[in-house]
Amino acid sequence: MRLYARYIGFAYFKAFLIVFLSLLLFYLGIDLLTNLKDLPKSANLQLLYVGMTALTAISYVLPISLVFGIIIAQINMVRQNELVSLYALGISKNSFILPPFFISIIITLCLIALNFTPFAYAQNYQRLIFKGLNFAQNTNDTFVKFDKKFIYIKELNSLNQTMQDVVIFDINQTELNGVTFAKSAKFLGDEWSLSEANVTILPKILKVGEAGLEISNKTELNTLKNFTPKSIVSANSSEKTSLNALDALDFISTFKDEGTSLNTAKSTLYSLVFAPLFAPLLLLIIYYHLPVSGRFFNLAISSFICVLATLIFWGISFVLAKFSSSGVIFAEIGILLPVILLFIYAFYLFKRHC
């Protein structure tokens, strides 16, 4: 790697790290001061709450720290006339921004990768600790449609992946073909294993003298393939904020043909996978609009405008994501469209300075 690239990359990463740690500690401090009286009495739970709060804060402060990092790094280099000196040595405007841009891309991709793991559950765990609830709360009285079947579940334990008192109605359009009762079920592999199942099949022709009900008892019955416990919990919940990217994909693939609204799950998926990309793109745009020299521009005003513009865009994106999650607008419009527009404008600026 060339010497100037290492120097620029280190200056940017140092500025980003300072901003990120400052915002993280600020978020953590404000949350603790706000909820100090309501925290659990146990020291272990308090430490766990602090850890979950810190992990929750990362999703919010990391993208915006990436943008603030380039503002601080570039303003410092402008004040010390380093930016003009680098340009005078023949370094192009695009070559200068590539090291910070690639660093921000790598950090953003790491955040996206974490969103495919239980890291995405941090906010949900934080709420459970704050409310004094167990992580493995049972889901009661669930009624969902899956694979042309209506399923009633009296109790679901998502941690142990077990169900109690299950009733499966086999429906063909408006006709009831059969009913399956089971006292318990266990999720094994990719399907449910029903214990002590009672299967009742209704006759196709309801007529005196024809065949009647077919009733059979089975010790074990495998059914409901790909109907995962997490999908059941998500379907029973009014919000999908506790999903990670894999769970959102699983929910969409499970209920795509069941007439279930997928907008909230799509919003969660887009927020976890595509929304963080706004940071590297906004970094490029901010860089091209910052002054090169402090002789003809007021650096304080310029940096203030860039910070304000970053906060405004971040706030608008957050509001649009909430609107998408609640179904007010389509997730593709509220989350994907702003990222696509940023990409087009950033690419235009990059090509213009080639």
Nearest to 220 by CA among 183, 189, 178, 169: 183
Virtual torsion, Cα 149, 153, 156, 161, nearest 10 deg: -40
Model confidence, pTM: 0.83
What is the distance between the alpha carbons of residues 122 and 118, in angstroms, rounded to a whole number? 7
d(CA 280, CA 269): 19
Give CA torsion, residues 264, 270, 273, 274, to 10 deg: -160
For residue 36, what pLDDT is reported? Answer: 82
The span from the CA of 217 to the CA of 227, in Å, is 23
Cα–Cα distance measured from residue 11 to residue 77, given in angstroms and rounded to the nearest whole number? 9
Return the HEC string of the chain: CCHHHHHHHHHHHHHHHHHHHHHHHHHHHHHHHHHHHHCCCCHHHHHHHHHHHHHHHHHHHHHHHHHHHHHHHHHHHHHCCHHHHHHHCCCCHHHHHHHHHHHHHHHHHHHHHHCCCHHHHHHHHHHHHHHCCCCCCCEEEEEEEECCEEEEEEEEECCCCEEEEEEEEEEECCEEEEEEEEEEEEEECCEEEEEEEEEEECCCCCCCCCCCCEEEEEEEEEECCCCCHHHHHHHHCCCCCCCCHHHHHHHHHHHCCCCCCCHHHHHHHHHHHCHHHHHHHHHHHHHHHCCCCCCCCCHHHHHHHHHHHHHHHHHHHHHHHHHHHHCCCCHHHHHHHHHHHHHHHHHHHHHHCC
CA dist., res. 281 & res. 102, Å (int): 11
Structure tokens at 295: 């002789």
- Residue 78's CB is within 10 A of a number of other CB atoms, namely 21
- Residue 283: Cβ within 10 Å count: 27
Which positions ≥6 away from 157 have C-beta within 8 Å? 136, 138, 163
Query: How many C-beta neighbours within 10 Å does residue 62 have?
Result: 21
Tens of pLDDT along the chain (354 residues) come to 578 888 899 999 999 999 999 999 999 999 888 888 888 888 888 888 899 899 999 999 999 999 999 999 999 888 888 888 888 888 888 888 999 999 999 999 999 999 998 888 888 888 878 776 665 556 777 888 887 788 888 888 877 788 888 898 888 777 788 888 888 888 887 888 888 888 888 777 666 656 667 788 888 888 888 788 877 777 666 544 567 888 888 888 877 776 667 778 888 889 999 999 999 999 999 999 888 776 666 778 888 898 999 999 988 988 998 888 877 888 899 999 999 999 999 999 999 887
